[in-house]
Amino acid sequence: MMFRPQKLFILILYALVVSPAISQAQVSAEINGEVQNQKVVQVKPAAEDVAISARLAGILNVTGWFEGIDVKVQEGVVFLSGTADTREHREWAEQVAKKTEAVVAVVNNITIKEPGFWDLTPKWTDLTSGVVKLSRKIPKIALTLLLLVVTWFAAKASVLFVRWALKFRVKSYLLRTVIARTAAIPVFLLGLYLTLHILGLSRLALTVIGGTGILGLVVGFAFKDIAENFLASILVSVHHPFSKGDLIDVAGYEGYVQGVNSRSTLLLSQQGNFVQIPNATVYKACIVNYTANPITRDEFVIGIGYDDSIMQAQSIALEVLVKHEAVVDEPESFVIASELASATVNLKVLYWFDISKHSRIKVRSSIMRLIKNAFEEAEITMPDDAREVVFPNGVPVQMLDKEHGSKLKDDSTSKENPDEKNTETDLESESIDIKKQNEQLPDSLSGENLL
């Protein structure tokens, strides 16, 4: 067997480096084990039972927490007896005995002192302890309240600042309000987080902030219709399809716009009734705005006899329209033959007028009356629809002389007073009366106008 120099070198290296390190680690482990196993309370090496008993009795009596305390030690076993004022002090005495040198076991026979019926000392102790704890927390509570107040004013200031910044950029008041309040939410959440963090509730703060989004979804589903009307009010105020005082027709309701709030659009009908239409319905429905273009057209039909001249009747009706004070020159008015009915030739009269100044129904009534008078002067008949009347028992006929007949004809002939032919009623628009009624609008209906 040959001896190799490499093996010799490895053995020498092991003896010089590895072996001392292992020995040192073993010594350190033994020392650390001795330190960890060492008792906290020491009497003296190989303490006797009497010394242990005297030492523990002295410690327990000095505290003043025990009455009639008695400590006995036999073969390293400690027997404790007496009365403790609280459960915590009873456990403390047992722990002290266990940590005493040379103690093998502890038998704890200490009882807890029961307060008397009229003894309010425990309650008083708890009360004073609570007051002390509260007094220690007063600075923290004061700081928390101060932070809440600062957060509130900071959120309000952010709302006012954003409204001011968007005053000339966003015309819609509601949209400015929504953007401003949305910008205030991060400020409020930051203040809430700092408040809870000062109170030692950081996890609760994170939970509250994280749950805000979930809460928003839940509220959105629960109040779907309210949220829909609110969003529709924003869109209505942005697109501005009408203004306050406009005469509109929406969802079958016609009236003058009184305002738009976050829930509904308020109309005042021409019958004097207040109508609230949900904004979601207003946004999705067809809107007819009569005031957007005040020059509007109206029409009606009047029938003449088949024996009368259609062109003459058209000329007379058109002359009435041209001379009427409410009818505008442009666009041009016209009269057309629209239908050959059973007993009449129906003429359709079409004319334009300013609805912002004149009432539709008043203007129509005035033109109808003037055309009827003009037709009667021109001896143009306006017969009723033909009817067939059946007399099952016959019709009795009595002949009248010419004098009596002419007299009867004179009595039955009725003509309109010439002084009343050109008499016009008030053609003013009802919007003035509507505005007067709007001044009496109840506070519960008026609210904040978003237009």
Residue 305 lies in a domain: yes
Q: Which pLDDT score is estimated for 234?
A: 81
What confidence score (pLDDT) does residue 8 get? 43
Domain enclosing residue 329, as ranges:
295-386+424-430
Residues 254 and 317 in one domain: no
Into how many domains does the chain fold?
A: 4
CB burial string 54-73: b at 16+ within 10 A, e below: ebbbebbeeeebbeebebbb
**The domain boundary residue, chosen from 205, 222, 239:** 222
Same domain, 205 and 131: yes
Q: How far apart are the first and last CA of the chain?
A: 111
CATH code: domain of residue 57? 3.30.1340
Q: What is the pLDDT of residue 13?
A: 46
Tens of pLDDT along the chain (451 residues)? 444 545 444 444 444 444 444 444 443 444 344 434 444 555 554 457 888 888 898 898 888 888 888 999 988 899 999 998 888 899 999 999 998 888 889 999 998 887 666 666 667 777 888 888 878 878 888 888 898 899 899 989 988 998 888 888 877 777 777 788 888 888 888 888 888 778 777 676 667 666 666 666 666 666 677 778 888 888 888 788 888 888 899 988 988 888 888 888 989 887 878 889 998 999 888 998 888 888 889 999 999 999 999 999 999 999 999 999 999 988 899 999 999 988 899 999 999 998 888 888 899 999 999 999 999 999 999 988 766 566 677 767 776 655 554 444 444 444 555 444 444 556 777 666 666 666 655 555 555 666 6
271 and 360 together in one domain: no
Report if residue 404 sits inside a domain: no
**Of 170, 201, 222, at which residue does a domain stop?**
222
DSSP class of residue 35? H
- CA 445, CA 438: separation in Å to the nearest integer? 10
Q: Return the pLDDT at 22.
A: 45
Q: Is residue 40 part of a domain?
A: no
The verdict on 285 and 304 lying in the same domain is no
CATH number, domain with residue 352 = 3.30.70.100
Same domain for 216 and 244: no
Which pTM value belongs to this model?
Answer: 0.49
* Residue 4 CB-half CA count within 13 A: 5
Assigned domain for 27 exists:
no
Q: Is position 282 within any domain?
A: yes
Of 101, 111, 97, residue with least CA distance to 47? 101
Q: Which of 112, 139, 160 is the last residue of a domain?
A: 112
Q: Are residues 272 and 307 in the same domain?
A: no
